[in-house]
Amino acid sequence: MTESALTLNRLLNDTSLRNTLKQWLSEPADADDVLQQVAEKVIRERIPVHTKAYLSAVLRNSAIDLSRANGRREHNARGLAPQFENPVAPAPEKSLQAAQAISAIQAKLDRQPPLSKKIFRLYHVLGLTQPEIAQCLGIHLSTVEKRLAKLRKGFLKELEAHLD
């Protein structure tokens, strides 16, 4: 084992880092996942890890990324449910109008290139970050950003065309 691998192993097994990470995350089990991901990243990208402070910063950033991704997943899982219940049911024509808008948006998504559909699903369904999508698909981050922006713009046009 190389010196950097030994240093990494020693730092990752540091109980104070592990306990701090558990405090940052809402789920204690996520701490082990973040530690594993950081260790893999450090080894894969050959990032020099010589200080506990540096590793602590990397772990904190990874914990923040995980929390944000989990938040997006929860938000997407809830869907577009209203924040409060509306005791008045919408008029039948409004329901029909909304159903037509949803169908038009789905049809627009179906007409998109395969890469755009994949990016949309990775971002909005799986909750991956844009950099994660770029890395996963082996494309530039700007490609992910542009495709998502173009999809949003097209969906908004469809909504405006169908809703009053």
pLDDT (tens digit, 9 = 90+) per residue, 130-164?
Answer: 999 999 999 999 999 999 999 999 888 888 887 65
Query: What per-residue confidence (pLDDT) applies to 119?
Result: 92
First to last CA, the chain: 66
Q: What is the mean pLDDT of residues 20-26?
A: 76
Q: What is residue 131's predicted lDDT score, i.e. its pLDDT?
A: 92
What pLDDT score was predicted for residue 7? Answer: 62
Which positions ≥6 away from 131 have C-beta within 8 Å? Answer: 141
Give 88's contacts (C-beta < 8 A, 6+ positions apart): none
Query: Of 44, 61, 43, 65, nearest to 53 (Cα)?
Result: 61
Angle value at C-alpha 133, between 129 and 138, nearest 5 degrees: 150
User: Which CATH number is associated with domain 92-162?
Assistant: 1.10.10.10
Q: Look-up: residue for tokens 């996963």?
A: 136
Whether residue 83 is predicted with pLDDT greater than 60 in this model: the reply is no
